[in-house]
Amino acid sequence: MELKEAIKKRKSIRAFREDPIPREILREILEYAINAPSAINLQPWEFIIVSGEERKRLSRKLLKAYREKKISCSPGNVKPLPEVFLRRGYDSFLSLNGYIKDMGKEFDEFINEGSCDFYGAPSAILICLDNAFSYRRFLDIGIVLGYILLLAQEFGLATCTIGLISAYEDEIREVLNIPESKKVAIAVAIGYPDMENPLNNFKTQRDEVDMFIRWVD
């Protein structure tokens, strides 16, 4: 698949088939992904791949924690957002909510519980960062994450980034035996997409590129 095609076709998938992903494919994806650039070549990322029954066990723990704590997905902003960002988010909500309503579910329930269950994906890749690094190294995590998402396309797999799991870090540490010295930054649900599910017809729209550019010549 051409890079430009992969970028255009990539979208977040929220319904997966149960087919397991061969370990060698997941390893190869990460083998390519770690070619991502990082500051001073520190390569600060660490990966935990959870599959099969262990992934389901982790999900059960996360779902229980969510139902007790009710910490929900949010953009994480510290100030009121300007109108342009609110408009983009609301437009996406309206489009996705139509599919969710057709499933007989409420938006918050589907997104939050779906995130805790990795939307039923057979595997999840958790990306961790050692606490020795400053928050600036999350930029490197973001770069390697982008590589993973595009490489998954190359291998005929689909993905959905899961940010909510960082709010339930203690529960994840307990299930996966992660030391306190590691920060759980983000996760990727990964698997073969269930294209018979109408939900996977949804794709967010993008503004024209000129909305984001200021030229300085």
Angle, helices 169-176 vs 52-69, to 10°: value is: 150
Structure tokens at 109: 């329930």
What pLDDT was estimated at residue 78? 60
Count other C-beta atoms under 10 Å from residue 35's C-beta.
10
Contact assessment for residue 25 and residue 33, using Cβ atoms and an 8 Å cutoff: no
Structure-token match 């057709």, residue found: 102
The CATH homologous superfamily of the domain defined by 3-72+117-198? NADH Oxidase (3.40.109.10)
Encoded amino acid at 208, one letter: E
Q: Taking the chain (217 residues) in consecutive chunks of 10 residues, what is each chunk's mean pLDDT?
A: 87 95 98 97 97 96 93 72 83 85 87 95 97 94 97 96 93 95 96 93 87 92
Distance CA 145, CA 31 (A): 13
Instruction: Check: pTM over 0.95? Answer yes or no.
Output: no
Distance CA 147, CA 10 (A): 12
What pLDDT was estimated at residue 158? 97
